[in-house]
Amino acid sequence: MKRYKYSINNLDCAHCAKKIEDELSKDNRLKNVIVNFSTLKLSFDAESDISLKELNSVISKIDSKVSVSDNSNKNKNKEYHFVILLIGFLFGVLGVFLNNNILSEIFILFSYLILLYKPFMNAVSMIIKNKTINENLLIVISCVGAYIIGENFEGIMVVSLYLLGKILEEKAINNTRGSVEDLIDLKEKFAYKKVGDKVVKTEVESLIENDIIIVKKGSRIPVDGVIKNGESLIDYSMLTGESELIKVRVKDEILSGTINKGEVIEVIVTKKYEDSTVSRILSLIEDATDKKANIETTVSKLSKVYTPLILLLAILVCVLLPIISNVNYEESFYRALTFLVISCPCAIAISVPLSYFTGIGVSSKNGILIKGSNYLDNLSKTNKIIFDKTGTLTNGSFNISNIEIIDDKYSLEMLTELLIKGEMNSNHPIADAIINLGNNDIDNSDVKNYKEISGGGISYSVNDYKIKVGNSKICNCDYNASLHVNINGHHVASITLDDGIKKESVDVINELKDINIRTYMFTGDKKKNALELSKKLSLDEVEYEMLPTDKYARYEEVKKNGDVVIFVGDGINDAPTLKRADIGISMGNIGTEAAIEASDIVIVNDDLKKIPLMIRISKYTNKIIKENLIFAIGVKLSILLLSVLGSISMWFAVFADTGVTLITILNTLRIMYKFKK
C-alpha cells in the first residue's frame, strides 16, 4: 500500500471538499481518502499507481472545475473574477436606472446572465452529478425570484455582493494559507555540491549520503549533515523557536531547515532529503490537519443536511405565512427568498479547519510539531500529565554535585586526577561526569590492573595507589552518598551525583499546576533517587523501578473516565505508553526514532517550556473556534428570524452569508498574531 499526495486546483469551499472526499472514498481502490481544504491537498492509499488523468476523470464527475496536479498551487482558484463581477453589476445598474423599458430589460437580463452564470453552473453540476444542493442554488433561486416579483435592483445587489464576498473570502483564505506556509517554509530548493574542484548547483532531492556541499552565509542548510570544514553560527529558530545562534565546528552535526549565519562551511551529507529533519517536519505539518478533531468532523456531518433543511424551511415559510398571518403570497415569497440567501454554511464550514490549521502552523513556528488537529484540540482539555524522568525532566547525563574528602592526605586536585585516570577506561555514564572534572590532556598510561566489578564499580592501580571507585560495599564504608573512593584499603572520599535536572523543569511543573494539571513521574530509577527528584520538582505523584510494561499498566490506572492524559518521554521503553496516551509528546533532539514515531507531538529542541505554550495555543485556538461558531450561528439565526418576520431585506441576508464568513476568517488570524515570534 502506497500513500499518494496531490495538490488540488480550483477548490473553493470546505463543504465541497467534504463532498469530494466522500465520493472518492466510495472507490474501492482508494483507502484513507482525505481532501484537506486548509492545505489544498488530496491524499489516499492505494495498492497500485493511479494516473493523474484517471484521477482527474473521477474528480470531474464530482465537480467539473476541480482538478489535481503534482505541483503546489497558490491562489489558483478561478471561480470568481472581479472584472466579470464589475461588468455584470454595471449592466444591472444601467438597466435599473434607464427610462427605456426595452433597453432596461435587456441590460437587466444581461446582468443576471453574467452574474448568475457561475453560481447556476455550479448548482446544476452538483444536482446532476452528486444529487445534492449547495448555496449556489439558493442564490440562483433568490435572484430569479427577485426578478419575478420586480425587485430587480435588490436581486442584482444580492448576487453582486455574494460574488464580491466570495472573491474577498477566497483572498482571505489564501492569505491565511500563505501566511501559515511562510511560517513553515523550511525547504531549500537547491544545494551547491562539490564535484572535484568544481561547485555545481543541484536539486536538493538529488543529494545522497557522503556528498559534500557548500553552504554560504545566509543560506538554509538543505539536508542533515556533519561539518567537514569551517566554523560558523547556525540559526535554529525555524526548527526550535529559539533565536540564540549555535556555534558549530568540524564534526558537529547540523540539521536541515536551519540557517548559516556565519562563514562558508563544507558539509558532508548524512541523510537524503526525504529522510532529513526538514522533510520529516514538513510531512508532519502537511498531514497534521488530515486528522480531524471531533468538532471539525461534527461540523462536516451537519453541513450535509444543513442546506436541504434550509430549502425545506424556506418553502414552508412561503406556503404557511399567508395561512397563519395577514401576509400575502408575494410578500411571503420575498421573505422565503431572503431566508435562502442567509442559509450558506461557509462561515461554519471554513472557520473550524482554518483555525486548527493556523494553530498547528503557529505551533510549528515555535518548535512544536503537532501531528493532527485532534491532538491540538485535546491539549486544551488536559488535566493530567505523566513525565518520564531521564532525558525528559533531566538531561540524561550525570553531574557531580559534591566531593567530600574524608582523608586530608589527599587534596581535591590529586584525588580528581587519580579518579580521571581510572575512569578514562570506562564507558559508564558516571565515568563521563568524572572525566569532565578535568582536562583532556591527562596521561593515564600508568593505570594498571583495571577491572570492572559487576554492579559495584571499578578497581585499578596507579603507581603505589590501589584504588576502588563504586558503591559502599566495595569501598568498605557506610556513608550516604552516590559513589565512594577507597585507596589502599581506606575510605578517602564520597561523591554525590545527580542526573542533571533540566533548569526549566521546576518552572514548567509549577506552571502546569497553576492551570490545574496534576503531575506524575514514571521512572525505572531506584526509589531513593526518584523520591529525591520528585521532592525537588514538587511533583504530585511518582512511580519508580518501573519496566516499560509497568509504565503502560500504570498509565491505565492514572487515566479515568473523562480524563485527558499526556505522556512525555524520549526512549524506546516509552514508545508503548506514548502510543497509548491520549496525547504522547516526545523529544525531537534526544528522543529515539521509536519514541518520535509513536508520539503525537514532537518538541524539536527538547525544551519543556513548550508544553505550557502548546496548551496555551490549544486553549486560544478553541476559544477562537467557539467565538466563530457562536457569532456565525447567532447572526444567522437572528437574521433568519427577522427575515421571516419581514423586518429585513436581502441586503442583510448577504451580510449573514459572506460578511459573517469574512469576519470569522479575520478573527482566525488572531491566533497567528497572538503567538507570533
Mean pLDDT of 414-430: 85
Residue 369: per-residue pLDDT: 85
Measured CA to CA, the distance from residue 257 to residue 234 in angstroms comes to: 10
| Inter-residue contact 347 to 664 (CB < 8 Å) | yes
Measured CA to CA, the distance from residue 515 to residue 492 in angstroms comes to: 49
116 has a pLDDT exceeding 80 = yes
DSSP state of 218: T
Listed in sequence order, the residues at least 6 apart from 406 whose beta carbon sits closer than 8 Å to its beta carbon are 479, 491, 492, 493, 494
Q: Lowest-confidence range among 50-59, 308-317, 593-602, 634-643?
A: 593-602
Residue 244: per-residue pLDDT: 64
Which band of pLDDT confidence, cut at 50, 70 and 90, is reported for residue 564?
Answer: very high
Which band of pLDDT confidence, cut at 50, 70 and 90, is reported for residue 73?
Answer: very low
Residue 75: per-residue pLDDT: 42
Please indicate whether residue 196 or residue 13 has the higher confidence score (pLDDT): 196
The position carrying cell 584504588 is 467
Mean pLDDT of 457-461: 91
Helix or strand run (H / E) with residue 35: strand 31-36
Please indicate whether residue 547 or residue 147 has the higher confidence score (pLDDT): 147
| Inter-residue contact 580 to 552 (CB < 8 Å) | yes
Query: Could you tell me the sign of the dihedral formed by the alpha carbons of 380, 386, 390, 394, in that order?
Result: positive
354-404 pLDDT per residue, tens = 788 888 888 888 888 888 788 899 999 999 999 988 778 887 667 788 899
Residue 509: per-residue pLDDT: 94
423 has a pLDDT exceeding 70 = yes
Please indicate whether residue 438 or residue 536 has the higher confidence score (pLDDT): 536
Which band of pLDDT confidence, cut at 50, 70 and 90, is reported for residue 18?
Answer: confident
Which band of pLDDT confidence, cut at 50, 70 and 90, is reported for residue 612?
Answer: very high
Mean pLDDT of 131-151: 76
148-192 pLDDT per residue, tens = 877 787 778 778 877 876 776 666 566 655 655 555 556 678 899
Residue 76: per-residue pLDDT: 45
Measured CA to CA, the distance from residue 618 to residue 515 in angstroms comes to: 13
Residue 297: per-residue pLDDT: 62
Q: Within a 13 Å sphere around the CA of 386, how many CA atoms are in the beta-carbon half? A: 29
Mean pLDDT of 490-495: 90
Please indicate whether residue 188 or residue 268 has the higher confidence score (pLDDT): 268
Residue 113: per-residue pLDDT: 92
Active site residues: 388
Residue 270: per-residue pLDDT: 93
Measured CA to CA, the distance from residue 354 to residue 357 in angstroms comes to: 5
Which band of pLDDT confidence, cut at 50, 70 and 90, is reported for residue 213?
Answer: very high
- Beginning with the edge strand found earlier in the chain, give each strand of the sheet holding 67-69 in spatial order: 31-36, 41-46, 2-9, 67-69
Nearest one of 33, 96, 119, 103 to 68, comparing CA atoms: 33
Averaged pLDDT of the chain: 81
Please indicate whether residue 36 or residue 361 has the higher confidence score (pLDDT): 361
Which of 250-264, 285-299, 504-518 has the highest mean predicted lDDT (pLDDT)?
Answer: 504-518
Residue 162: per-residue pLDDT: 73
Please indicate whether residue 529 or residue 360 has the higher confidence score (pLDDT): 360
Helix or strand run (H / E) with residue 484: strand 483-487
Mean pLDDT of 24-30: 85
Q: Can you list the domains of the chain with their CATH numbers? A: 2-69 (3.30.70.100), 190-284 (2.70.150.10), 356-395+502-618 (3.40.50.1000), 399-498 (3.40.1110.10)
Q: Where are the beta strands (DSSP E) in 152-293?
A: 190-195, 198-203, 212-215, 225-229, 232-235, 245-248, 253-254, 259-260, 265-269
Please indicate whether residue 130 or residue 91 has the higher confidence score (pLDDT): 91
79 has a pLDDT exceeding 50 = no
Residue 182: per-residue pLDDT: 55
Please indicate whether residue 38 or residue 309 has the higher confidence score (pLDDT): 309
Q: Grid coordinates representing 459?
A: 578497581
638-674 pLDDT per residue, tens = 887 887 787 777 667 767 767 787 888 889 889 988 8
565 has a pLDDT exceeding 90 = yes
**Per-position b or e across 494-528, b if 16+ CB within 10 A of its CB:** bbebbbbbbeebeebbebbeeeebbbbbbbbbeee
Distance of CA 72 to the CA centre of its chain: 19
Measured CA to CA, the distance from residue 145 to residue 335 in angstroms comes to: 11
